[in-house]
Structure formats: structure tokens, C-alpha cells
Amino acid sequence: MNSSRLRQSGALALRVLLGLAIGVFAHYLLYRLFLPVQPFIYVAF
């Protein structure tokens, strides 16, 4: 009984962590999406 509860809690915690990670990753993707592909090239003249 106890080990089954423990497994269920573990599975729930894993889902929470996975969900949080996906949410944070989506936030990071927004940053990457708006990052220019090429850096600015400065030529001194």
C-alpha cells in the first residue's frame, strides 16, 4: 500500500517537474526565436 502511494507520488512529482521544465523551455524558445541569426559585424573605418 505504502510503496504504491510512494510510486504514485513519484510519478506525480515527475509530471510536475516535466511540465515546469517544458514551460521554462517555451520561455527560452521565445528568447531564441527573437535572437538574430547573425551577430552584428562592426568594421572600424
Partner 1 sequence: MTFLKIKNLVFLLAIPIGFGLATWFGLNAESYSKPSRFVRFHYHISPETLFFPTFSMMENLAISRWKPGKTIVIIAGNSILNGYGQNETDLWSLRLQDELGERYAVVNLSFRGALPFEGGMLVAESLQRRGLPVVLVTNTSPGTVGRVAGETYGYLYYDALYKQRLHSHPARSANILEWEETASKTVREQQAELRRGSLLDSWFHFQGLWHHVAYRYFFTTWNQRTRLTFWKSRDKYIDDLPVAPGYEQRFQTDLSSELEITRGFSINLAEYEPRVGWKLLQPPMEIASDLIEDMTPKPIRARTIILLSQNAPIYRSKLTPSEQDRDEVVCKGYADLWRNFGFTCKIVGDDFDNQDFYDRSHLSATGGRKLAHLVADYVRQLTPP
Amino acid code (one letter) for 17: L
Residue 1 or residue 39: which is nearer to partner 1 going by CB?
39
Q: Dihedrals φ, ψ of 38, to 5°?
A: -105, 135
Strands (E), 1-45: none
Residue 6 binds partner 1, judged by CB under 8 A: no
Question: In angstroms, what is the C-alpha Rg of the chain?
Answer: 21
Residue 1 binds partner 1, judged by CB under 8 A: no
Report, in Å, the least distance between residue 39 CB and partner 1.
5
Binding interface with partner 1 (CB under 8 A): 8, 11-12, 15-24, 26-28, 30-36, 39-42, 44-45
